[in-house]
Amino acid sequence: MDRKEFLSSLGFSAASLMMASCLGSCQKSSTNAPTVDFTIDISQSPYDVLAIAGNAVSKDGVIIAKTLAGDIIAVAQACTHEGINVTFQANSNRFYCSGHGATFSTTGAVTNGPASSPLKQYTVTVNGNLIRING
């Protein structure tokens, strides 16, 4: 192998390694979502915002929202594409990632990429002012 072939081979190998590393780091999985079990009181700050439809709050890596229909929902806060925190957009009834424009339904399903994995959905139990999130 001459010098030109060696350098060409070395360059191709380095480019392949960099590409594999980038592709691997750009795709997160919903399995990285936290396992949680906590209760919040919506009569207490900062959770009192959930008394009003359309608002959302986060705790321990979970975003908890009250839809305009009045349902309390909870999903993992980190986008499955690159881990940027999603926000709840009540008027669109979806979760939105400002990083690359990914959107998710209220159940966490991907509705627009580049994310390809859903957000983890948590079980929500409402008992008066107390809301238990687990999963």
pLDDT level of residue 3 (50, 70, 90 thresholds) = low
pTM over 0.85: no
29-134, CATH topology level:
Rieske Iron-sulfur Protein (2.102.10)
Residue 29 is predicted with a pLDDT of 41
Tens-place pLDDT, residues 65-87: 999 999 999 999 999 998 889 99
**pLDDT level of residue 91 (50, 70, 90 thresholds):** very high
Q: What is the average per-residue pLDDT within 101-118? A: 94
Mean pLDDT of the chain: 83
The 8 Å CB, 24+ separation contacts for 26-31 are 26/81, 26/82, 27/80, 27/81, 27/116, 27/117, 28/78, 28/79, 28/80, 28/81, 28/82, 28/83, 28/117, 29/80, 29/117, 30/76, 30/80, 30/108, 30/117, 30/118, 30/119, 30/120
More confident position, 29 or 97: 97
Q: Report pLDDT for 34.
A: 87
- Domain extents in the chain: 29-134
